[in-house]
Amino acid sequence: MTLKDGTLPRHVAVIMDGNRRWAKKHHLPIIAGHKKVVEGRVEELIDHAGHLGIPYITFWAFSTENWRRPENEVKGIMGLFRLALEKYAARMIKKGARLRVIGDMSKFDRDIQEGIGKFVKQSEKNKKITVTFALNYGGRDEIVRAIQRMVTQESVNSEQWAVTAEKLGKYLDTAGMPDPDLIIRTAGEKRLSGFMLWQSEYSEFYFTDILMPDFDADQLDLALEEYSRRQRRRGR
């Protein structure tokens, strides 16, 4: 991989798409595509990003709209979340990853919520790489919840109280994290679908036809090389 000096993104976010298409392509049950990503790709990409020195990587793993999928598929995905918590979370923590979650956790079963909370707490002092999973996440939903939190916690009766971008940002799920420099979407779709609507103001986008189960470290390198050729003016 050849990068221009100083062009490595600080935060890479991945919209993981194409799992079902991958399964159909390989004549496998739908859940096989999701399983391929959980059991292989995510850890590979985390390891590679950490090796390169990228301090933040985020994966959109389950959207607020994904609950509408067939019941057996949703049930299978929940099973994979439990597998990830049981088999992979502790391993990532041992490698120095700090685990975070964005999204509305209240919709998940209690054991999943508790498992996530446990590993987030255990990893909070790790500094090698911050790995964030967007679960039951939608950009509009995040903004609405942030406003609800802000109104509840701020003294809104004061004449000097005002909504500002900085103030609202403190109540977003991503508070304390840098906005993504690079957002990758796999499987050929060229839209955000509501992902990080607030945070993506000046993000660079990289769209690839590669299905997520096939998006490996080499594919990440290609995205990073493309990113290194961009000129980021941030409105200037």
pLDDT tens for the chain, residues 1 to 236: 666 556 899 999 999 999 999 999 999 999 999 999 999 899 999 999 999 999 999 999 999 999 999 999 999 999 999 999 999 999 999 999 999 999 999 999 999 999 999 999 999 999 999 999 999 999 999 999 999 999 888 766 666 678 889 999 999 999 999 999 999 999 999 999 999 999 999 999 999 999 999 999 999 999 999 999 988 776 66
Q: Cα–Cα distance between 47 and 92 in angstroms, integer?
A: 9
CA angle 18, 22, 24 (to 5 degrees): 120
Query: Which residue is catalytic, options 66, 104, 214, 221?
Result: 66
pTM: 0.94
Which amino acid is it at 92? M
CA angle 20, 23, 26 (to 5 degrees): 150
> Which domains does the chain possess?
11-140+178-228 (3.40.1180.10)
Contact 97, 130 (CB under 8 A): yes
Tell me the three state secondary structure of residue 76: helix
Q: Beginning with the edge strand found earlier in the chain, give each strand of the sheet holding 182-185 in spatial order.
A: 97-102, 129-137, 56-63, 11-15, 182-185, 204-207
Q: Is 17 a catalytic residue?
A: yes
Q: Cα–Cα distance between 102 and 100 in angstroms, integer?
A: 7
